[in-house]
Amino acid sequence: MLNKIQEDIKAAMRNKEKVRVQTLRSIINDLKNAGIEKKGAEKLVQEVSSPAEYLSEQEIVKVIHSAAKRRRESIEQYQSGGRMDLASQEEAELSILSEFLPQPLTPEELKVLVEECVLEAKAEQISDMGKVMKIAQAKADGRVDGKALSVEVREQLS
């Protein structure tokens, strides 16, 4: 995925797509920072390769998810503050980020997933929500927002 992002940066530069280049570069920067956190800065000084190469595909998706979440929060804040120009810029960046994320679960798929997890955890009451959430997050593999997952689990356990 890292190579795909780098290739997309090159293509966006050729096509003079400023927002796309800026967004993809911010992803690369976030990935480098995550790689440094994982490997440790002192070890990376001796290495030649990029810190982002120390990340697995799952970790890369997780970093992109957190970047997308930041964009969503910014959109809400800009809209509530009446800054539609900045909100539209964040929406454009969010759409670029979503290209690199796995397809989200549909509401029907989410419901089925949570039902399976409730049965697997043998959950019967709301106090078992933590067990179900742990199993469901592992199975969802980044394809669903934590808030939506939590709402569905709470609904099924009530």
Asked if 110 and 144 count as a contact pair (C-beta separation under 8 A), the reply is: yes
pLDDT of residue 48: 42
| Residues 151, 157: Cα–Cα separation, whole Å | 10
Query: Where along the chain do the CATH 1.10.1510.10 domains lie?
Result: 2-98
| Residues 27, 21: Cα–Cα separation, whole Å | 10
Residue ranges in the chain modelled with pLDDT below 70: 40-52
Residue range 107-157 forms a domain whose CATH class is mainly alpha
| Residues 59, 54: Cα–Cα separation, whole Å | 9
CATH number for the domain whose boundaries are 2-98: 1.10.1510.10
Asked if 73 and 106 count as a contact pair (C-beta separation under 8 A), the reply is: no
pLDDT of residue 16: 94
Q: What's the one-letter identity of residue 84?
A: M
Query: Where along the chain do the CATH 1.10.10.410 domains lie?
Result: 107-157
